Every structure is written in C-alpha cells, then in structure tokens.
Structure 1
Amino acid sequence: MAKTRSLILILGDQLNPSISSLMNFDPQLDQIVMAEVWEETHYVLHHQKKIALIFSAMRHFAQQLKKQKWPVHYHQYHPDSPYHSLLDVLKDAVNQYSPQQLLVTQCGEWRLHHVMQTWSKSLAVPVHILEDDRFVCSITEFKKWAAGRKQLRMEYFYRYIRQKTGLLMENNNPIGEQWNFDKKNRKSYRNDPPVPPTYQCKPDKITQNVLNDVTHYFPNHFGQLKPFWFAVTAEQATAALTHFIEHKLAYFGDFQDAMSHQHDFLFHSIISIYLNIGLLDPITTCKMVEQAYRQGKAPLNAVEGFIRQIIGWREYVRGIYWLKMPAYAKENAFNNKRCLPSFYWTTQTKMQCMHQCLKSTYEHAYAHHIQRLMVTGNFALLAGITPSEICEWYLAVYADAFEWVELPNTLGMVMHADDGLLGSKPYAASGKYIDRMSDYCKGCHYNVKTQYETDSCPFNALYWFFLITHYDKLQHNPRMKLVLNALHRKSDAEITAIKQRAHYLIKQLDNL
C-alpha cells in the first residue's frame, strides 16, 4: 500500500469541515481519524447527555465526510476495546496507513495538549499541532494584547475585539455610543412576557444508537439521558440559533440574569453547546444576531449582551487559559480546603435555589450563567470548597464545558481563586440577591429574610462569614468597600451569632 500523506485526527469538539487540520485535505492522499475512547470519557465522569451529544455529533460529522467521499477511520466506543486512548487508536492507524505525518488542530485542554506533544516519539512520525483558527483572537495575539498590562480586564479586551471585527460599530465607534449595556440586563422575571419553547431536535437513528450505547456503557455517570433534544449537526444547530433569534433574542437582554423555577432556560439560546464543539461559527453567529438589531427585530441591550458573551467573554477566558496554564489550575487564593457537598451530585438539598439549579443541571446538562455563577458557584465560594473540586464538577456536568472555557470561569470568576486576575472582585452574595433575581425563595425550607436563626437561609450567614474570614485580603479591594462598611455596622452580638450559625452550617454541609 502506498504511503498516506497525512493522518488527520479530528477531536469531538472540532466538528467543522473548515478546521485548520482539514484546510488542505486531499481525499486521494490523506486519511481522517476519529475516535470515541475510554480515556476521554472517564478523566472526569461526564454527564450522560454530554457524552451522547459528542458521540452523536461525531458520528453525524463522520457520516457527512463520508458522503463527500472523504476517507474516515472511525473508532466507536466499547468498554472492552483494547484501544483506551487516542494514542492507542492512532498507533493502530499509523500501522494501517503508514502516514508521512500526523496533523491535529490544537485541542482545548492542557491535559491533552501536553500528551500530544509526546506523540511524535510514540508514533515514530512527525506530529504537527495546528492553530485552532475558529476563534477571533489567536493565542499569540492574546499574549501580545496582554503583554505589559497591569490588569487583564475583559472590558478592554472586548473593546479591542469589537474594533477588530467591526461588530456593532459605526465609524470605529460603538453603536449606541457606549460599549456595554449590562446595566440594562438585570430584570427579574415575573411571568411576563411568555417564554417561547426552546428549540428541540428529535433523535434520528444514529442518535438513538448513541443513546443505547450511553445507557449500557455509562450507567453510573451523572445526569438524566432522556429526553435527548440537542442538535447534533451544523444544520440543526443553525436552526436552533435561528429559532432563538426569531423568538427569544428580543427579551434576552432584559432577563439574561433572571431565574425561574418554572423555566429552566427562560430566554437563553443554549448555543454555547454548539459553538464549543464546532457546529456553529462564532462570527457567523454574531453577524446573524447583529442583523436582527439592524432590522429592528431586537433591542441593542439584548444584541450587545449576546455578542459580548461570544466575542468578549468567550475569547477572553480562552486567552487567559492558554496564557496562564498549567500553573493556573492550582491557584487557591483563599486557601479553601473543604470537600464538595454530596448534594451537588444528588441534587437533594432543602435549599430551593440550589435544588432548582442542580435539578436543571442533572436533567439537561445545562444551567445558564447566573445559575452557575450566583447560585451553585456562589455557594461553593461561600462554603470554602476546594477550587479543584468545584472545577472538576463543572467540567463533568455541563455539556458546553471544555477546560479552556470552564476552568477560568470557575476558578477565576466563580471562586476568585486567581486572586483577582480575571474578576475585579469576588462574586459573593447573600440570599438577598437570589431572592431579587428569582422566585426560588418562595416556599423554600429556609427563610431568606433572616441571617442567623435556625431556619435562616444558609447563604446569608455564610456570606457574612466569608467577609469576616477573608477581611484582611478583601479590605484592599476598592470594589468591596461598600459591603465591608456594612459589615462594620454590625454589632459584636450579630458577628458572634453569624459565626456560630456559619460554623454550624459548615459542619452540616452535606445535610443542608
């Protein structure tokens, strides 16, 4: 058999025919390899829906390539397979096809990237790791932007990317004469306007086979597998985006921080899942949303807020990840040492807000950013949970979680464990915030209005205890001045009661 020119590995979050590793693909000379393997499904115990999403999207993508007459070597998961890792599959493929080189687009996790750098020796062929050009800002460009800056604030990076892309710009100035409309995006939801249904896809034969596999092979993994309604092709993902633009975008801005026990998704798009595995392109997505504004179909605060999440925050956290890894993953500014409470996995807690967000996570492998930041994340911060444990949980349970996006969001934004590199202040809050932004507190076992009684909301005492415990560090942060002043106004008796209540809660974390 004649030597293959290039063996090209396509990962489960690289499902785009325009990806850099396929840029010069020649079906007569090159061979594609795709693999579902034990190692990638078990380094954390991924949500069943997350595994099903990636496997189904991979199999659909392979089918699409085969229809184009592109040769695809596809390894399907089986627990008894002798090929446990991507390297195992590649060794077999190298023996079978005798390639001159292996091409792979850079992955999204340091763990795998580090291993890839050893593959050339293991495979005895050159391994070329190509830049992932699906992002607006390359890793090199972000390093240049960050060089010499005392603070790496997302807001200034976002303005840089707005100018680079021209999105929502006129004559190099932001439309609406300001860059950020976040202050207009903080309304609570009180059952008006009606929430349109979320776009859902019916599983086809390929997906049904995947669901059967996940049921049999991953029964002990977290999460509810069915009903399964995620998009698994680019066409379906585009239809989901179009549905969001037509039915939800107009209200997304006003209610993007709101939470409701009746509506898991409210006016959110749920497209981060599709962006992060390659089924949607970020710039194309942003241009479609921008067009809705220019056609008068959605207000500026909604469109700007949506675009900011994609070309601002999403690009920014990726830049931070590759700039600071691998040391970044070990940051623990508050020296937290407590274990993650068991109810994060069981969803069984008397705290209604936590139960609702954990229930959504269990059922859908999804919760929106405020549910993650200000409920499940906020509790982990206040309770002093070890950052690595909550980071691993987020990586496992959410379908859109890949380490490049999950780790900075969790370790930096949620836990403030990087000592303010990513966020200018800890996003700590009492139950008062949750009560204002949701209806979760109604009917809760705990009383959100009190602080240290036996039935007081745990968030309240833990919030003040967090400020007391870390006062020496927080007092130097100008954005914490107001809340620390409020702490100063509390009497010695109140402080004592708060400490007693907090110590009790910490001892009872698993039973709250």
Structure 2
Amino acid sequence: MTMLIPVLGDQLSPTLASLRDVDRAQAVVLMMEVWDEATYVRHHKKKIALIFAAMRHFAAELRGDGWTVDYVALDAPGNTHSFTGEVARAAKRHAATAIRTVAGGEYRVRQAQDGWAAQTGLPVDILEDDRFVCPLPDFYAWAQGRREQRMEYFYRDMRRRTGLLMTADGQPEGGKWNYDHDNRDTPPRGVNYPAPERFAPDAITSEVLALVAQRFAGHFGDLEPFALPVTRAQALVALEHFIAAALPDFGRYQDAMIAGQDYLFHSSLSLCLNLGLLGPIEVCEAAVAAYARGDAPLNAVEGFVRQIIGWREYMRGMYWWDMPRLATRNALDAHRPLPDFYWTGDTGMRCLAESVGQTKREAYAHHIQRLMVLGNFALLAGIDPQAVSDWYLVVYFDAYEWVEMPNVIGMSQFADGGAIASKPYVSSGAYIDRMSDYCGRCRYDVKKKTGEGACPFNALYWDFLARHEKRFAGNARMRNMYGTWGRFSPEKQAEYRESAAAFLDTLTPAAEGWARQPAA
C-alpha cells in the first residue's frame, strides 16, 4: 500500500491537510518543477526562483522530518513538464495504490486534478485547502442570494469568526470596524523607512538562481540581487521584523508612494502567505499582539488584519464564485493593447516609470502603486482587462491567479461590472500628486489639464467619465464627478476628449509573446 501525495509549489506548509494523519512509512510525497507552470505565463525570473527555491527547501525539511520525498527537478530526465504527467509517472514509479492531494488554488490546476483518477486508474482524494480562514462552502453560503457581495460585510463576518480585534461583548475594538480614514497620510521629509529583512542565498537557492538564469533568461525582470525568504524559519524572521520595525507606521502611510522607497512601511509577507510558509491567523495574531502590548496603533493593526482576513479571503471566494466566467469578463468593452512601457518602463510619466522599474527590480509593488497608478492608467486608457490581468500575474512574486485575477478584473479594471467594486477606481493626476513625490520631477505638468506637456491622467480621467457616462452617471458615489463634468462647457469637454485621444494615439503596443507565449 503506497499513498502518493502530490504537494504543489504554493502548498509549502508542514500542516497541509494531505500530510496529516498519514502513515509516513507507506507514503511518498511528490514535488514537481514543471515547465508548464513556469511558462503558462512567462513569470518574473525572481518569482520562478522564489518558488523553486522554497520548494527545494521544503522538500529537504520534509525529508528531515521522516518523509520519503520524490522531487522532480526541472531538468530531471523524463520530466513531462506537467502536473498530470508527473503524477502519472510517479504513480507507476512507486506502484501507488491511492493519491491524496490538496485542491489547487487555481481553476486550471483544479481541473487537472479532477482528471488524475482517469489518467492513473487510482482513487484520488482531493482535500479542501483548510489553510484559509473561510472554507469555500462557507463563502458560497455567505454570497448566495445577496444582491451585492461587498467585502466590508464579509470582513465583519471574518472578524466575528476569528475574534480578531473583537471585544468580549462582540463589538469591534475601538468601536469601529474600519479605520481607513486614518491611513492616508503622506510621510514627511526625512523619514527613515525600514527595509524588509533580507536573506542571503544558501547553496540550494544559489543552484536555483543559476538554473533560472540559464533556462528563463528571456523572462521579464531582474533575477538578482535575490534576498527573499524561502523557508518557514526565514518567513518567521520576516514577520517578526515587520511587526517590530514597520507595523507601527504601516497604517497612516500605507497609501503613500515615494520614489526610491520600494517598501516604505509595507511588508513582503504576502509571498510567505501565498506560498504557505506562514498562515493567515498566525500573522494576524502577531499584529494584534503588538497592539495589545501598545507597540502598534489600532488603525495600523486593523488595516493590516483587514488585508489578510478581509481582502485576501474575499478575493479567493470571489474567484471561485465566478470562475471560469471571471477570466473573460470585459464589462466596459475595453480592447486597447497593453502599452509596451508596462514591460520596459520607458515612459515620460514618472509615476508609471517608477512603478514599472520597481516591479522589474523587485517583483513587487505595493497596493496603491498597483491600483492607483498601474491599474488606474490601464482602466482610464481602456486597456484589454485580460492583457492587464496577464501582466499582473507575470510580474509580482505574490501573484497567483486566485488572488490576482479578481483584484485586477474586478477591483482594478471594473471588468466584472461591479461585482467586487461599487465604482471604478479612477483618478486624475491630482491623487497621484497628493499621495506621492512622483510628480515633482515628471516631464508632464500635473497642474496642466490638457494639451502639450499636460499630465495624461488629467485628460484621460475626464475622457473615461465621458465614454462611460451612460453606465456611471447614476452611480451615487460618482455623482459629484459627473456634476463637475456637466458644468464644463461643450468646448472644454471637447478639449479634454481631444487631448486624451491625441495622447492615446502615441501609445506603442507591447510586442506579442511577453505574457503568454512559452519561452523557447
């Protein structure tokens, strides 16, 4: 009797459901580096290295804990380079009598898992991924029959479910559920920002870096320097460092953007959570403990907890609630190709150049850069939402389809028609100027509204509202925007629209194959 236990690259948790209550003497853990997963989109080189290095370290830890691990490296002889192919090969290699696995986080992976029984002729037990706070059946029960599935109400239920930041009588700590209004300050000059904890590559990681440099040279992004956490021990150090050094100021400055400061007071813990190196509850409990000790204010801790048990869990639920339909949604009928500067960073718009340049270096940008610079421009310019979604999936080290796609298709691009966001997240250059230092040395003038040298966001903003007036004019949250637009003279409205059209005509589409064409 041999139980084959496939463990995927984002399931690197010693408490994984498939590893519990198993006789290790009669089990083989299968881990696979496969070309299909590295290239179904051409992931950032640093992202591929992160996942492969974390997988190899986890395999070593499992062996040290008494497991038999069959690890198929990318260049292993006979590697079929697909999950299904490697599961079938391993089942024969070990004369497996059954397969036990945890459901993949992405729709296409789960579809493949559903075919393993037919492919191998073996019984396959696909377990729910219980590393999340909200089981999918519970999310479906919450969503079913609601006119709107808004995150805020889901988040309150998650607070009640977990007890995080709740008083003994069942009320939210501090008397309010949400402290966002305290989280929009611009940092003063001279603030010292705490860099995230860095980890020097060991021999295992160095071997992976050499592999990625050779095999994925044509992929987007800088591979080195590489200093990301690739083990649970390192992830715990990163968590401790964030709680002590950055969390106290995370809240009030979380929407700020400063050139040359890639992380500000943000963490890189999303990569640890999404790989499985950390669990959501332990991360939230560490933040809440800091609040209880008086080491971090409530607005910072609440905002951080909301990102994890609110947005992260909600996005996973909305992904599975709407798939596979979500992948092709395009409610605003946007079809412009993705501009080439999303890959090169070669644009005179400094906010976009800084955000793309940071993304290229780090495989990271924080949520306001992703939403209100990169996403805002794509939405205003009418970029095809599937192309935008593919780009986000490629370039960020924490991007897995279950969390990336609903964030981009729904929240960022409003392509789901408002299932996730109650209004589109659009702004003119004024918001970027208020929340960043990007505009001061930009070739475009953020104060100028139209014409040569004007910030493109200004004309694009009003052009977007004009294009979609029929859809959004009745939206209560956009009433003031359309009130202002309606007070413009016909000549001024035409000037904005002509200026936007002239700018859009200058955009160069990205070359084919950056995102989805498999590497040679």
* TM-score (norm: length of structure 2): 0.96
Determine the structure 2 residue equivalent to 1:372.
370
What is the CA-CA distance between 1:510 and the residue it aligns to? Answer: 2.4
C-alpha separation between the residues in 1 aligned to 2:509 and 2:309? 41
What is the CA-CA distance between 1:80 and the residue it aligns to? Answer: 7.6
- The correspondence of residues 220-259 of structure 1 with structure 2, limited to 5 A, is 220-259=218-257
What is the CA-CA distance between 1:262 and the residue it aligns to? Answer: 2.5
Matched, 1:146 2:143: yes
C-alpha separation between the residues in 1 aligned to 2:471 and 2:122? 51
What is the CA-CA distance between 1:146 and the residue it aligns to? Answer: 0.9
Deviations 1:392-421 (Å, cap 9, x if unpaired)?
Answer: 000010000001100000000000111110
Determine the structure 1 residue equivalent to 2:13.
16
- Whether the aligned pair in 2 keeps the contact of 1:447 and 1:456 (CA below 8 Å) is yes
One-letter amino acid of the counterpart of residue 87, structure 2: L
- Whether the aligned pair in 1 keeps the contact of 2:33 and 2:81 (CA below 8 Å) is no
What is the CA-CA distance between 1:336 and the residue it aligns to? Answer: 0.5
What SS does the corresponding residue of 1:73 show, helix, strand or coil? Answer: strand
Which of 320, 323, 340 is the equivalent residue of 2:321? 323
Which of 302, 305, 310 is the equivalent residue of 1:304? 302
Which of 71, 91, 94 is the equivalent residue of 1:94? 91
Q: CA RMSD in A?
A: 1.2
Q: 1:80 to 1:414 in 2, by over 3 A?
A: farther
Determine the structure 2 residue equivalent to 1:204.
202
Q: 1:316 to 1:511 in 2, by over 3 A?
A: closer
- Whether the aligned pair in 1 keeps the contact of 2:5 and 2:27 (CA below 8 Å) is yes
C-alpha separation between the residues in 2 aligned to 1:175 and 1:462? 41
Deviations 1:34-91 (Å, cap 9, x if unpaired)?
Answer: 0000000010000000000000000000000011120000000129854121111111
What SS does the corresponding residue of 1:128 show, helix, strand or coil? Answer: strand
% of aligned pairs identical? 48
C-alpha separation between the residues in 1 aligned to 2:382 and 2:27? 51
One-letter amino acid of the counterpart of residue 352, structure 1: R
Matched, 1:352 2:350: yes
Q: 1:418 to 1:345 in 2, by over 3 A?
A: same
One-letter amino acid of the counterpart of residue 204, structure 1: D
Determine the structure 2 residue equivalent to 1:386.
384
Deviations 1:138-187 (Å, cap 9, x if unpaired)?
Answer: 00000011112111110000000101100001020001000000010001
Determine the structure 2 residue equivalent to 1:178.
176
C-alpha separation between the residues in 2 aligned to 1:339 and 1:79? 38
One-letter amino acid of the counterpart of residue 12, structure 2: L
- Whether the aligned pair in 2 keeps the contact of 1:189 and 1:438 (CA below 8 Å) is no
- Count residues in correspondence: 509
Which of 264, 268, 274 is the equivalent residue of 1:270? 268
Determine the structure 2 residue equivalent to 1:52.
49
What is the CA-CA distance between 1:17 and the residue it aligns to? Answer: 1.0
Determine the structure 1 residue equivalent to 2:516.
none
Unaligned runs of 5+ in 1: none
Which of 112, 120, 143 is the equivalent residue of 2:117? 120
One-letter amino acid of the counterpart of residue 10, structure 2: D
C-alpha separation between the residues in 2 aligned to 1:502 and 1:79? 52
Q: 1:511 to 1:63 in 2, by over 3 A?
A: closer
C-alpha separation between the residues in 1 aligned to 2:233 and 2:190? 31
Deviations 1:306-330 (Å, cap 9, x if unpaired)?
Answer: 0000001100010101111111111
Matched, 1:470 2:468: yes
Deviations 1:244-275 (Å, cap 9, x if unpaired)?
Answer: 11111100001000000021110001100100
Determine the structure 2 residue equivalent to 1:133.
130
Deviates most, 82-91 or 199-208:
82-91
What SS does the corresponding residue of 2:24 show, helix, strand or coil? Answer: coil
- Whether the aligned pair in 2 keeps the contact of 1:189 and 1:259 (CA below 8 Å) is no
C-alpha separation between the residues in 2 aligned to 1:215 and 1:511? 27
C-alpha separation between the residues in 1 aligned to 2:214 and 2:76? 10
C-alpha separation between the residues in 2 aligned to 1:107 and 1:445? 46
Determine the structure 1 residue equivalent to 2:515.
none
Matched, 1:155 2:152: yes
One-letter amino acid of the counterpart of residue 349, structure 1: T
What is the CA-CA distance between 1:190 and the residue it aligns to? Answer: 2.8
Determine the structure 1 residue equivalent to 2:81.
84
Unaligned runs of 5+ in 2: 511-520
Deviations 1:445-482 (Å, cap 9, x if unpaired)?
Answer: 11111111211111111110000000000012111101
What is the CA-CA distance between 1:189 and the residue it aligns to? Answer: 2.1
Deviates most, 73-82 or 41-50:
73-82
Deviations 1:188-239 (Å, cap 9, x if unpaired)?
Answer: 1233432122211111010000000000010000000000010000010110
Determine the structure 2 residue equivalent to 1:486.
484
What SS does the corresponding residue of 1:255 show, helix, strand or coil? Answer: coil
One-letter amino acid of the counterpart of residue 326, structure 1: P
Determine the structure 1 residue equivalent to 2:71.
74
Which of 330, 333, 351 is the equivalent residue of 2:331? 333
C-alpha separation between the residues in 2 aligned to 1:425 and 1:26? 52
Q: 1:80 to 1:332 in 2, by over 3 A?
A: farther
